[in-house]
Structure 1
Amino acid sequence: MTPIPEFKAEDLARWSGGAWKGAPPVVLRGVVHDSRCVTPGSMYVALKGGRCDGHEFVPDAFRHGAAAALVSGDYRPAPTPRRGESGPLLKVADPLSAIRDLAAGYRRQWSGTVFGITGSVGKTTVKEMLASMLAVRGEVFRSPGNWNNHIGLPMSMLKCPSDGPAAVFELGMNRPGEIRMLSRTLRPDAALLTRIGPVHMAHFNSVEDIAEEKASLLAELAEGGWALLDADSRWFRRFRSLLRGRCVTWAERADADYRVRVGEGGITVNGHDFKIPVPGLHTAGNAARAAAAALEQGIDPHDIAEALARYRTAPMRWEMTDRGGVRLINDAYNANPVSMRAALSTLAGMADGGRCWAVLGGMSELGDMEGEQHRAIAEVAAELPLAEVITVGARARMIHDAGPGHWVHADTPEEAARLLCERVAPGDCVLFKGSRSERLETVLDRYRTLTE
């Protein structure tokens, strides 16, 4: 179990600019923003969300063992609280801003190496691979799941044990200014950028704007920091101009500090061969980034090879299972034009004597490019040796309507699962992919039920 960091009450007040009401313990063990996750001695943070106000759960937090709560300055507890439902309060102007200030304060005193990873696709994969490679030097913290936004990243920093050798975080965004804000909180010692593409276009005018936003990480490195950049990328010159630190390069074609060869099932980095247990050139590219960063950090190639051999995908990220001889690929965690192309291309290379099927949902947050990008996916899929594409839901109909006439469309997950049952046979391979809002895993769940 990851050790819980401890915080001095006086530091929490100083970092947040808040003031204590009531005498807190000298030390608090951990900071949480979900009253259900409170542990004895921790500080609960009351955040206002779209559906509920965390201040309503302050009494619950104290009842579950919280030693203090961080609240808005205008919060007023019940005049006669029940026994065990009140305690010391750290009052601040804005709890959301305060958790960023707390994380930044804690980061300033944290002595390990902090890695920050951003990009349009592959952040979680690179994070998990790199953390495993670095773990040869001791327990390495990595941000949980996809805790990469304006709440998740600062809360991740506040979960980081105080004495680890390194910590790896991913930074995500869907609006302008968010990466810079998160970068100023994290101040990483090393930065990695994954592939850039048309993601979250609902809030950006162009892919160039997305690239600029992602690259703002490069201007916020800690003193003496470095960044790993892809010298083959169309963005390389621009990214290098924004970098405030040392530039480390990797590339397949251009001259670079780390020369890479990427192939199905493995990569070569500066002459060192590494096998990868997950298919796909996009996964191999992510592994190349992680391996180059680990080599730059002085990790032995043998340890990198062992870490990659142990790598397993996260749930709903190219998660492969077998059902009656049919290989099912659950890649339904999310989708965007870059990851959709990569997934379809990888699927097409996995036939192994059987047929390949794609069950596709729509891609969200594409703004004015929504129609264009869905039609482009149809064009890509039509050129691949797929048995058929089954589209699911209203948004995915744009893919269906732009594809060949034999493709089929389902309005519901139930209908899609039944169509699949009628078509697939042992030896076939089926991909399930769509944006998180499409919940394509429900089609897979229904298919499993129907084939019991």
Structure 2
Amino acid sequence: MIPLWTTEELRAATGGFCADGLTATGVSIDTRSVAAGDLFIALRDQRDGHDFVAEAFARGASAMVERDMPGPVLRVADTLAGLTALGAAGRARMDGRVIAVTGSVGKTTTKEMLRRACAALGATHASAASYNNHWGVPLTLARMPRGTDWAAIEIGMNHRHEIAPLARLTRPHVVIVTSIGTAHIGHLGSQQAIAEEKADIAAGIEPMGLERAGIAVLPQDSPHFDRMAEIARRHGAQVLGFGESPEASARMLAWTGSAAASEAEFELSGRHVTLRLEQPGKHMAMNALAALAAIQAAGGDTGLAAAALSGFGAGAGRGEMRRVATPDNGTALLLDESYNASDSSIRAALLVLAAQKAKRRIAVLGDMRELGDFGPDLHRALASDAAHAADLVYACGPLMGHLFAALPARRQGTHTEDAASLAPIVAAALRDGDAVLVKGSLGMRMAEIIRAITGADRKNA
């Protein structure tokens, strides 16, 4: 069996030096999950990966390193550059279709939808978790198995001019921009600048044949659609709009939602498709529309893809719904949106909360990050949405203090400075029949509140 990377391929891709016989069956940057046969990349970031090479060896892995050391090593000048080169080589040997996804909201969910739908069409590879940055994208490409038919690659950013280099590395045939919101507006300054950065995902667009350009799937309903389309065309992409607008090539004709599911009817370039998702919210159906439009643009069978996507439900931290025990020996419904937050995604999550049949609807909200001077006003502006959707609001973080202060007194639960302080308060306050939404930026560590609600902290004590 041919390994993921042979000795010759490792040398050719990275320009590095290694002993004959060094191969890799996988690629890892974390010794906590490294497996025998993996190539461990000793990245230098907040911690120096070289400090963990001995642990990688003990687990049966080899290592890409920047200095001479005993053991099965691939010696390179710079490990991040070596990983990037390995990712480029992984992409170069792939003959299938590549779809890249970005957006202020929904990119990970859309990528997971692509993973599921494309798997019905052929061998599929996709980014793990939210591996969408300067090391996550090349790591995803370096892990791509031989013979991959479809790849779904997530690309993110925090600052201007970060997406284009990753897009050029990925060389996608089709790109998706899911939405334009205010995430990272503190770094970029305006939604227009965010839209321009997101549209640069088309910078790496790859033609699908001699007479067929790559395609950019863009949100037709966005006020920034025209600007994004202009940038995408400048990069050589054809543009396909998706949304509810009559002008959209991929159009949502109808949507109905319940507390636990969504049903939608789409028109994809003249073809009607119906879909049921085991997840509430029109935004989820819109993500599915974008995914199916991209698959159709790449030449895939939308019928097979839609059938495979039917029944899709969100994962932990991204809208997963589950029952949890309450202190009064009852149960509550947990809406786990703890992974991240923006103003548009909070509004969407609050609509889902409002749709739940419950004795009390409780929103637990943490700060949205990287909003700069816009932060106080953007948080305060969510107060009316929160008051409409929730009977009681708990909040943590200095910015969520602005929302909390703007709430009617009858809607105010508790406000604390951090999630660790709020977690036991929320866990103790839940009652039988409640529905509770937990959402905030990753840096707010809202997962601590999830652990408290689910009893994971008690189980691990």
Q: Same fold (TM over 0.5)?
A: yes
Residues 334-353 of structure 1 aligned to structure 2 (within 5 Å): 334-350=340-356, 352=357
1:422 Cα offset (Å):
6.9
Residue matched to 1:358? 363
Contact in 2 for aligned 1:39/1:64 (Cα 8 Å):
yes
1:56 Cα offset (Å):
2.1
Deviations 1:246-269 (A, max 9, x none): 222323123232222252212211
Residue matched to 1:237? 226
The answer to whether 1:43 aligns with 2:48 is: no
Residues 63-142 of structure 1 aligned to structure 2 (within 5 Å): 63-67=58-62, 69-72=63-66, 75-77=67-69, 86-92=71-77, 94-142=78-126
Deviations 1:414-452 (A, max 9, x none): 764565467654333111111112222323432444999
Residues 252-267 of structure 1 aligned to structure 2 (within 5 Å): 252-263=244-255, 264=257, 265-267=262-264
Q: Which amino acid is 2:95 matched to?
A: S
Contact in 2 for aligned 1:13/1:90 (Cα 8 Å):
no
Residue matched to 1:320? 321
1:123 Cα offset (Å):
0.7
- Range with greater deviation from structure 2 (387-396 or 204-213): 387-396
2:54 pairs, out of 59, 64, 76, with: 59
Which consecutive residues of structure 1, in runs of 5 or more, have no partner in the other structure? 78-84
- Range with greater deviation from structure 2 (394-403 or 99-108): 394-403
The answer to whether 1:34 aligns with 2:30 is: yes
Q: Which amino acid is 2:203 matched to?
A: A
The 2-side partners of 1:302 and 1:257 are apart by 17
Contact in 1 for aligned 2:366/2:397 (Cα 8 Å):
yes
The 1-side partners of 2:136 and 2:2 are apart by 17
The 2-side partners of 1:199 and 1:5 are apart by 40
* Distance of aligned partners of 1:413 and 1:42 in 2 relative to their CA distance in 1, 3 Å threshold: closer
Deviations 1:339-387 (A, max 9, x none): 111111221122x2633211111111111111111111123323x1421
DSSP 3-state at the match of 1:138: coil
Contact in 1 for aligned 2:121/2:305 (Cα 8 Å):
no
The 2-side partners of 1:198 and 1:47 are apart by 31
* Distance of aligned partners of 1:189 and 1:298 in 2 relative to their CA distance in 1, 3 Å threshold: closer
The 1-side partners of 2:311 and 2:247 are apart by 30
1:400 Cα offset (Å):
0.8
Contact in 2 for aligned 1:139/1:164 (Cα 8 Å):
yes
Contact in 1 for aligned 2:68/2:75 (Cα 8 Å):
no
The 1-side partners of 2:186 and 2:249 are apart by 37
TM norm structure 2: 0.86
Residue matched to 2:307? 306
* Distance of aligned partners of 1:335 and 1:262 in 2 relative to their CA distance in 1, 3 Å threshold: farther
The 2-side partners of 1:5 and 1:367 are apart by 47
Residue matched to 1:292? 293
* Distance of aligned partners of 1:241 and 1:445 in 2 relative to their CA distance in 1, 3 Å threshold: same
DSSP 3-state at the match of 1:116: strand
1:102 Cα offset (Å):
1.7
Q: How many residues align?
A: 434
Deviations 1:195-221 (A, max 9, x none): 111112332222211111111111211
- Range with greater deviation from structure 2 (183-192 or 291-300): 291-300
The 2-side partners of 1:377 and 1:416 are apart by 20
After TM superposition, the runs of 4+ consecutive aligned structure 1 residues lying more than 6 A away are: none
Deviations 1:265-309 (A, max 9, x none): 122112322112100111111111112223334544543343233
- Range with greater deviation from structure 2 (221-230 or 154-163): 221-230
Contact in 2 for aligned 1:362/1:396 (Cα 8 Å):
yes
Contact in 2 for aligned 1:332/1:436 (Cα 8 Å):
yes
Contact in 2 for aligned 1:38/1:66 (Cα 8 Å):
yes
* Distance of aligned partners of 1:26 and 1:49 in 2 relative to their CA distance in 1, 3 Å threshold: closer
Which consecutive residues of structure 2, in runs of 5 or more, have no partner in the other structure? 209-213, 325-329
The 2-side partners of 1:272 and 1:57 are apart by 50
Deviations 1:307-329 (A, max 9, x none): 23331211111121223242121
Q: Which amino acid is 1:61 matched to?
A: A
TM norm structure 1: 0.88
Residues 205-244 of structure 1 aligned to structure 2 (within 5 Å): 205-224=189-208, 225-243=214-232, 244=236
RMSD: 2.6
Q: Which amino acid is 2:21 matched to?
A: P
* Distance of aligned partners of 1:5 and 1:210 in 2 relative to their CA distance in 1, 3 Å threshold: farther
